[in-house]
């Protein structure tokens, strides 16, 4: 009897708590865009089905170009109009500049201090300045054009060797990932960690690095249930926080080793780490080790997965529009003979 009473009052307490929370949310968020009805605790998570872009397209056709969804306890606004999207990142860019406080930002991204996890403020503006001037400036990007061309040629050579003298089916997704990861890591540290022809003499080190990156991509995304339903943190069935702490320590150890390795060299190379370390000597208060590690981590995670997916989508679009192939064939040999400096310019034109 006592157990039943305890369960009854516990459920009553939870129901009252959820009801009060929903009431306060309704008062806090007024004039929200339209959206599908949400359920307690999970919100609109039950509406999400793969592939997500098709789910969002279906919802936008029903509710409009701007819709509101509840991912558990978090409000999400989905924009599918190019005009509204442009306005969000021009007229209202400062208003929307803050970042959600995910667990990955706490453990992986140095307690919300990297460019992708930090909210708008003096620290974020300083990171943006460093990124714009010292990491992604036109001059710095042009300096790495030889790397990008070399990685593209390696991919073409590998495809040619695999296909031999006949047409064969090839799996490109993993190849695009290898190419983009090697491209970014050569820009960061001058090393290639992916593919059969990677530069690493220690095969085990390369294998551990790839496993670390795979776990980072898995845990740093916006798909952790604990971020959207805080009640799950009380139980943490998937040991999420433990895994985040473990991968955080492993990543920091790797990045710290990278800095020490480049510090010990007598001559600076044309890499992002070497360039930032040289700036650290004159401005140590701006270019701290944590800032450099955060920038390297941001480059590794933000510029690789998205680039590989974009390449895959671009190739899919070309295959779906055969007329575009007619343009690529006559230009193939011209591009093949191009120098590293004008290779990308010709391809864009």
68 and 142 share a domain? Answer: no
164 and 271 share a domain? Answer: yes
Cβ pair 84, 78 in contact under 8 A = no
Residues 6+ apart with CB under 8 A from 266: none
Helix%, strand%, coil% for the chain, nearest 5: 65, 5, 30
139 and 174 share a domain? Answer: yes
Residue 184 confidence class, pLDDT cut points 50, 70, 90: very high
Residue 340 confidence class, pLDDT cut points 50, 70, 90: very low
24 and 40 share a domain? Answer: no
Structural domain includes residue 111: no
178 and 283 share a domain? Answer: yes
Q: Tens digits of per-residue pLDDT, 291-303? A: 999 999 999 998 8
70 and 2 share a domain? Answer: no
Better-scored residue on pLDDT, 120 or 31: 120
Cβ pair 241, 103 in contact under 8 A = yes
Structural domain includes residue 121: no
133 and 2 share a domain? Answer: no
Q: Is the pLDDT of residue 289 over 90?
A: yes
Structural domain includes residue 254: yes
Structural domain includes residue 75: yes
Residue 342 confidence class, pLDDT cut points 50, 70, 90: low
Dist. CA 343–CA 335, nearest whole Å: 6
Structural domain includes residue 9: yes
Computed over every residue of the chain, the mean pLDDT equals 83
Structural domain includes residue 118: no
163 and 279 share a domain? Answer: yes
Domains in the chain, number: 3
Better-scored residue on pLDDT, 253 or 340: 253
HSE of 338 in the Cβ direction (CA atoms, 13 Å)?
A: 20
225 and 335 share a domain? Answer: yes
With b for 16 or more beta-carbon neighbours within 10 A and e for fewer, the 246-261 pattern comes to ebbeebeebbeebbee
Average pLDDT over residues 128-148: 92
The residue range of the domain holding 264 is 129-348
Residue 200 confidence class, pLDDT cut points 50, 70, 90: low
202 and 138 share a domain? Answer: yes
Structural domain includes residue 24: yes
Structural domain includes residue 109: no
Q: Tens digits of per-residue pLDDT, 214-241? A: 999 888 876 788 888 887 777 877 888 8
Cβ pair 220, 104 in contact under 8 A = yes
Better-scored residue on pLDDT, 206 or 145: 145
Q: Which tokens sit at 93? A: 């860019």
| 200: CATH | 1.10.630.10
Q: Tens digits of per-residue pLDDT, 9-67? A: 566 666 666 655 655 555 556 688 999 998 888 889 999 888 888 999 999 999 999 99
Instruction: Express as a percent the part of the chain with pLDDT over 90.
Output: 41
81 and 24 share a domain? Answer: no
How high is the pLDDT of residue 197?
Answer: 67
12 and 69 share a domain? Answer: no
How high is the pLDDT of residue 304?
Answer: 86
Average pLDDT over residues 247-271: 91
Average pLDDT over residues 297-315: 89
- Helices of type H across the chain: 2-28, 52-63, 82-88, 103-107, 122-130, 138-143, 145-163, 173-188, 203-220, 225-228, 240-263, 272-282, 289-302, 305-320, 322-336, 340-348
Q: Is the pLDDT of residue 189 over 50?
A: yes
Domain end residue (candidates: 47, 72, 96): 96
């Amino acid at each position: 009897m006592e157990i039943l009473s305890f369960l009854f009052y516990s459920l009553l307490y939870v129901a009252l708590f959820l009801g009060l929370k929903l009431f306060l949310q309704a008062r806090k968020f007024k004039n929200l865009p339209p959206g599908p009805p949400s359920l307690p605790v999970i919100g609109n998570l039950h509406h999400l089905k793969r592939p997500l872009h098709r789910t969002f397209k279906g919802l936008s056709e029903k509710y409009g170009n701007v819709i509101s969804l509840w991912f558990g306890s978090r409000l999400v606004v989905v924009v599918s109009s190019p005009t509204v999207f442009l306005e969000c990142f021009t007229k209202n860019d400062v208003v929307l500049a803050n970042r959600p406080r995910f667990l990955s930002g706490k453990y992986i991204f140095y307690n919300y201090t990297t460019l992708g996890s930090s909210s708008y403020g003096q620290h974020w503006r300083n990171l943006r300045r460093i990124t714009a001037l010292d990491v992604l400036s036109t001059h710095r990007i042009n300096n790495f054009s030889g790397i990008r061309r070399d990685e593209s040629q390696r991919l073409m050579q590998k495809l040619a060797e695999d296909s031999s003298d006949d047409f064969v089916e090839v799996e490109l997704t993993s190849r695009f990932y290898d190419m983009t990861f090697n491209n970014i890591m050569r820009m960061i540290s001058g090393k290639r960690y992916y593919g059969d022809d990677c530069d690493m003499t220690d095969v085990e080190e390369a294998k551990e690095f790839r496993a670390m990156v795979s776990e980072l991509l898995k845990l740093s995304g916006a798909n952790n249930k604990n971020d959207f339903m805080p009640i799950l943190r009380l139980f943490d069935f998937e040991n999420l926080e433990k895994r985040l702490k473990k991968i955080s320590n492993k990543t920091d150890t790797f990045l710290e080793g990278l800095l020490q390795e480049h510090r010990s060299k007598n001559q600076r190379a044309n890499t992002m780490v070497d360039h930032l370390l040289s700036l650290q000597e004159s401005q140590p208060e701006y270019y701290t080790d944590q800032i450099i590690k955060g920038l390297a981590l941001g480059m590794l995670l933000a510029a690789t997965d998205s680039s590989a997916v974009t390449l895959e989508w671009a190739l899919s679009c070309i295959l779906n529009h055969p007329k575009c192939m007619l343009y690529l064939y006559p230009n193939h040999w011209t591009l093949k003979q191009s120098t590293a400096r004008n290779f990308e310019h010709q391809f864009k034109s």
